[in-house]
């Protein structure tokens, strides 16, 4: 039942250091269920443990049992949303279901088709299930939040076209780890009523359930190294609290006995260039990779060992300004513990920490740029002896520099549907400070659009203002990377260029 069809799925991403992009317009995704199955029970027939994975219908019913008691059912379906970028905001989602009529020769509902007081509900399934094993007795959990009411039918074979499931589907995308499809059940499970549709095992594939999802989104991936990083520290009796270490090859934190009594400790600061992100940009995910460096000194109970001791640490948001080549322990910036990230204790002296989830922390920084100045790393408990040490951006091997990966999904409200997108547009000069020149396009150009890297439309030229040479004045744009779409009747060709004044 793995049936998927897609109508102009135009995906793309931007990598800050290694750049590729395909700015795309509105995406329309048409899906059939990857799995669908009815589940039911029939009193006195021991059917509640029977699986119906190959059933040709998808529906729900409640009727008197053939030998007393009751006979009832619900149905489950799920779709493969893996092609939809994380963080996507959908503009619409509609589900179409096609009536099948009677599904049996017996039964007050099943022998009739859609009948009775059969208003029904679509609800979000919240636990896992398998099409070929699930039964009434093992049915998954489900939740009524944002459930969709399907009105009672007016005929035994009624189709339900374009049921609005936008919010229900958005909830599934936003809660992917606890979303496992849609359950169909009668709003009032009392006899006699039934609502029956074709499943993906039905012979005519044009009658299969169909979900159409539309979203106008510019999914992007940004990979960046710190714009600044520096350790700050003190060593009692050595007057080091006023010393700057802007060129240190390590980024870390530690606490150990001082060489001449007292204590020797340190924290570290790092910042990234977030100037390309608009306030309000939704961060779908952000992960930080830190690479172990081992010992950073020949002396010291922690510094001569590397990551050691009870070294669970915290990444916190820095809230005041600092300069990499001037900051010291005594002038270190303020920091806040809101949405801080705990790093568990290491298991080796050179342990790497990959994929640290810093999503909410980065979202806070981007949403509040006037009082956010990066990240501080400090021990959770600043007591000797412990240390956690990583490579900084001054380390010789650039593959070991701290790396932040941010996934965004910016909504492009001006998006339109298109049929073809190619990513092979040549632009010159590149970089440019005045004009960019676009080579001849085989079809008449109707429009040219230029976007920032966060998906904001900054230039839009209509057909009447486009000259034959396709020269575009970009002198009014700020320094940075931009993406361009050249739109003709047959295709959209995209490319990227840099403005550098």
pLDDT tens readout for residues 131-150: 999 999 999 999 998 899 99
If pLDDT is split at 50, 70 and 90, which confidence band does 184 have? very high
Q: Which of 50, 51, 48, 45 is nearest to 68 (CA)?
A: 45
> What is the percentage of the chain residues whose pLDDT exceeds 70?
84
pLDDT at 60: 98
Residue with tokens 């000797």: 384
Are the CB atoms for 232 and 109 separated by under 8 Å? no
For the chain, the farthest-separated pair of C-alpha atoms sits apart, in whole angstroms, at 93
Instruction: Name which residue leads in pLDDT, 154 or 216.
Output: 154
Span 432-439, average pLDDT: 85
pLDDT digits over 77-134, tens only?
Answer: 999 998 787 667 788 899 999 999 999 999 999 999 999 999 999 999 999 999 999 9
Per-residue pLDDT for 418 more than 60?
Answer: no
- 275 vs 202: which has the higher pLDDT: 202
- Is 412's pLDDT higher than 90? no
By DSSP bridging, strand 421-422 and strand 492-499 are parallel
pLDDT for position 9: 24
- The confidence band for 410, taking pLDDT boundaries of 50, 70 and 90, is low
Q: What is the DSSP letter of 350?
A: T
Return the minimum-mean-pLDDT range out of 246-260, 335-349, 444-458: 444-458
State the average pLDDT over residues 16-37.
63
What is the pLDDT confidence band of residue 282, given thresholds at 50, 70 and 90? Answer: confident
Residue entry with tokens 């340190």:
266
The strand ranges marked E within 244-351 are: 250-257, 263-271, 283-290, 308-309, 313-318, 335-343
What pLDDT, on a 0 to 100 scale, did the predictor assign at position 422?
37
- Say if residues 191 and 65 touch (Cβ distance below 8 Å): no
Q: Which of 206-210, 329-333, 422-426, 451-455 has the lowest mean pLDDT?
A: 422-426
pLDDT tens track for 369-379: 888 899 999 99
Asked if 342 contacts 217 with a C-beta cutoff of 8 angstroms, the reply is: no
> For residues 294 and 308, what is the distance between their CA atoms, to the nearest angstrom?
9
User: pTM of the full predicted structure?
Assistant: 0.49
Could you tell me the two tokens for 15? 């990598």
**8: pLDDT strictly greater than 60:** no
Higher-pLDDT residue of 194, 28: 194
* Mean pLDDT score, 263-288: 89
Computed over its alpha carbons, how large is the radius of gyration of the chain?
A: 30
Mean pLDDT (whole number) for 381-404: 96
- Binned at pLDDT 50, 70 and 90, residue 455 comes out as low
Per DSSP, the residues of 19-41 read: --------EEEEE--SEEEEEEE
Task: List the structure tokens of 399.
Answer: 């593959």
Residue 19's pLDDT is what? 27
Per-residue pLDDT of 153-181, as tens digits, reads: 999 999 999 999 999 999 999 899 999 99
């Amino acid at each position: 039942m793995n049936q998927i069809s897609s109508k102009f799925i135009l995906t793309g991403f931007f990598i800050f250091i290694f750049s590729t992009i395909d700015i795309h317009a509105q995406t329309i995704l048409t899906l059939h269920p990857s799995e669908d199955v009815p589940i039911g029970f029939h009193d006195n027939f021991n059917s509640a443990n029977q699986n119906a994975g190959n059933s040709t219908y998808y529906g729900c019913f409640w009727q008197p049992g053939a030998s007393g008691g009751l006979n009832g059912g619900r149905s489950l379906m799920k779709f493969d949303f893996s092609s939809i970028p994380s963080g996507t905001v959908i503009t619409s989602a509609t589900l179409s279901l096609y009536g099948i009529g009677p599904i049996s020769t017996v039964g007050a509902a099943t022998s009739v088709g859609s009948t009775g007081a059969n208003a029904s509900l679509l609800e979000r399934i919240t636990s896992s299930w398998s099409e070929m094993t699930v039964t009434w007795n093992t049915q998954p959990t489900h939740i009524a939040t944002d459930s969709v009411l399907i009105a009672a039918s007016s005929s035994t074979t009624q189709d339900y076209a374009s049921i609005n499931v936008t919010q229900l589907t958005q909830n599934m995308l936003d809660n992917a780890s606890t979303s496992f499809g849609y359950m169909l059940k009668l709003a009032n499970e009392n006899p006699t009523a039934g609502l029956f549709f074709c499943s993906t095992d039905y012979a005519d594939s044009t009658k299969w359930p169909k979900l159409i999802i539309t979203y106008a989104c510019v999914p992007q991936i940004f990979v960046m190294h710190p714009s600044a990083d520096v350790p700050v520290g003190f060593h009692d009796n050595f007057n080091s609290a006023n010393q700057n270490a802007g060129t240190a090859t390590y980024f870390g934190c530690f606490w150990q006995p001082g060489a001449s009594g007292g204590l020797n400790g340190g924290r570290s600061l790092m910042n990234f260039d977030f100037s390309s992100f608009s306030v309000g940009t939704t961060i779908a995910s952000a992960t930080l990779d830190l690479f172990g460096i081992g010992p950073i000194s020949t002396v010291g109970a922690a510094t001569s060992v590397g990551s050691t001791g009870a070294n669970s640490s915290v990444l916190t948001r820095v809230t005041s300004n600092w300069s990499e080549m001037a900051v010291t322990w005594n002038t270190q910036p303020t920091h806040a513990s809101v949405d801080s990230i705990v790093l568990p204790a290491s298991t080796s002296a050179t342990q790497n920490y990959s994929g640290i989830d810093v999503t909410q922390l980065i979202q806070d920084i981007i949403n509040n740029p006037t009082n956010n100045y990066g990240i501080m790393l400090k021990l959770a408990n600043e007591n000797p002896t412990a240390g956690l040490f990583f490579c900084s951006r001054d380390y010789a091997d650039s593959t070991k520099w701290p790396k932040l990966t941010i996934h965004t999904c910016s909504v492009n409200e001006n998006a339109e549907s298109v049929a073809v997108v190619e990513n092979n547009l040549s632009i010159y000069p590149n970089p440019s400070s005045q004009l960019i020149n676009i080579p001849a396009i085989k079809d008449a150009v109707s429009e040219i659009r230029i976007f920032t890297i966060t998906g904001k439309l900054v230039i839009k030229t209509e057909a009447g203002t486009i000259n034959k040479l396709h020269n575009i004045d970009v002198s009014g744009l700020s320094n940075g990377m931009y993406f361009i779409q050249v739109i003709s009747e047959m295709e959209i060709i995209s490319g990227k260029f840099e403005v550098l004044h």
